[in-house]
Structure 1
């Protein structure tokens, strides 16, 4: 029987846990630093899934044949270090975190130095629609070997990009500069356009230079993602900024997106407003009445 440890039980971790069980993994344990807070989403997911929390990541790693790291982006290296005391020889470490190539390389050095098999992974779409069947890029000298058995865990769409750690991360985070940057631009543009009463005109003008689409629906989707997941997206964009810096480029746009995503995270209730216009109006109301903001 394969024993799997899931590090991180947030939104992504919950989906992974559910799908691993569907794939037949019954010996599943989890660890999240937020378990100590019963109000946290991780603690609620733990209870809802019926999982038992270990007293530490190291304890949870004992006997695990596969460790999946799905923590927040900034904790990539710390998560790798946390399992070292009990990580078994040859254990797989599947690093799904949206972290920079440099941080992935540092995590790999920790795991490989302890005798584990590190696999860099980059999730290349929102996980909600296809869940574990989402597309993953894999990297590292053990990536091809892991890809051959990934289907046993329900991971069925894998592409091995390189034996070099960091290429999958670079692909993911350079994409994030565009995707999370576009989210940030749409928030800022439509807040301003709505003030001037030209939001419809702006949206209607976009097909002149961009592919035809329902840009009101596109904008609504992107804005809602920032409102719901802005904190995690801000942290991912900090890793994107680190990636840009590692390439010797000044990360002006990535750092601006960090600020806008973090700002948007302060108004999660606006994401429940309904239409794109309603969300924008809810944000403008929050700007005009900061004393009413509770987030």
Structure 2
């Protein structure tokens, strides 16, 4: 039997996962991305799909049509829109998985959309960078059918751990972790800019290494600054979801919002001191 998997969203994560899953025996992968409809950028992305040996669908409807499992891999701020567009084309025998970094409330909103036609919904929370490891990245899952679906995907080489039949536990775990990781990345941006400008980088690194000898602070700073510069816009959307989650708990989400703003501002093209 052939396992039909569709990806809605064919960006960094969608491309990596789709390519690796398509290489598995008995797996057929279909992808759709709104960029396909762009006359300027669409042809190149469709060519990428051809090279990855996945089928580039003409629409969300076509992507969902034959898939047993539909995986949403869009940006955080597009998760609900993607689900709304997919919902009319989902059947009870299908499973819709949202792996986007969004708040528990957003995951539940996505679930409400896709369950209208009777399909199952599972949340995924990706717990580490996907670069390099791809489908072997640790993932938490949640939902009534999370155990069965996770077990089947794990047979393909994925590393999914079901954590709850309820929607929200996996995503809350992810976003609480992100407050620390994305917050530290934002700190490393300002630390690097300020210490280099002041000419005190070596002294500060020496002090940090003495206080926290388990960390290679010079490497951490380089890696994290590079990540923010490359992925800051997407990570800003994730941190706004974290802020939303914190606010829904009755807590102060302003720090998460500030982290989002720093990621977003540093990722934009620079013309001032940050461009040095």
Same fold (TM over 0.5): yes
- Retained in 2: the 8 A contact 1:25–1:153? no
- Deviation larger for 182-191 or 28-37: 28-37
Secondary structure at 2:56's aligned position in 1? coil
**For residues 9-88 of structure 1, what are the structure 2 equivalents within 5 Å?**
9-37=10-38, 38-39=40-41, 42-43=45-46, 45-88=48-91
- Per-residue CA shift, 1:111-131, capped at 9, x if unaligned? 223111111110101111321
Secondary structure at 1:110's aligned position in 2? helix
- Per-residue CA shift, 1:236-282, capped at 9, x if unaligned? 11111111111111112111111111112124xxxxxxxxxxxxxxx
- Per-residue CA shift, 1:66-92, capped at 9, x if unaligned? 101111011111111211222122211
Structure 2 counterpart of 1:138: 141
Partners of 2:48 and 2:265 lie apart in 1 by 26
Structure 2 counterpart of 1:193: 195
Closer, same or farther in 2 for the Cα pair 1:129/1:53, shift >3 Å? Answer: closer
- Retained in 2: the 8 A contact 1:36–1:43? no
Closer, same or farther in 2 for the Cα pair 1:44/1:207, shift >3 Å? Answer: farther
Deviation at 1:153, TM superposition (A): 3.6
**For residues 76-225 of structure 1, what are the structure 2 equivalents within 5 Å?**
76-155=79-158, 157-225=159-227
Tell me the TM-score normalised to structure 1 length. Answer: 0.86
Structure 1 counterpart of 2:247: 245
The unaligned stretches of length 5 or more in structure 1 are 268-282
Deviation at 1:223, TM superposition (A): 0.5
Deviation at 1:43, TM superposition (A): 4.8
Structure 2 counterpart of 1:275: none
Q: Quick check: 1:257 aligned with 2:242?
A: no
The unaligned stretches of length 5 or more in structure 2 are none
- Retained in 1: the 8 A contact 2:92–2:118? yes
Partners of 1:263 and 1:205 lie apart in 2 by 28
- Deviation larger for 231-240 or 46-55: 46-55
Aligned CA-pair RMSD: 2.0
- Retained in 2: the 8 A contact 1:10–1:42? no
Secondary structure at 2:167's aligned position in 1? coil
Tell me the TM-score normalised to structure 2 length. Answer: 0.92
Partners of 1:211 and 1:172 lie apart in 2 by 27
- Deviation larger for 24-33 or 59-68: 24-33
- Per-residue CA shift, 1:211-239, capped at 9, x if unaligned? 42221011100111001111111111111
Deviation at 1:7, TM superposition (A): 0.8
- Per-residue CA shift, 1:174-226, capped at 9, x if unaligned? 11111011111110122111111111222221134434222101110011100
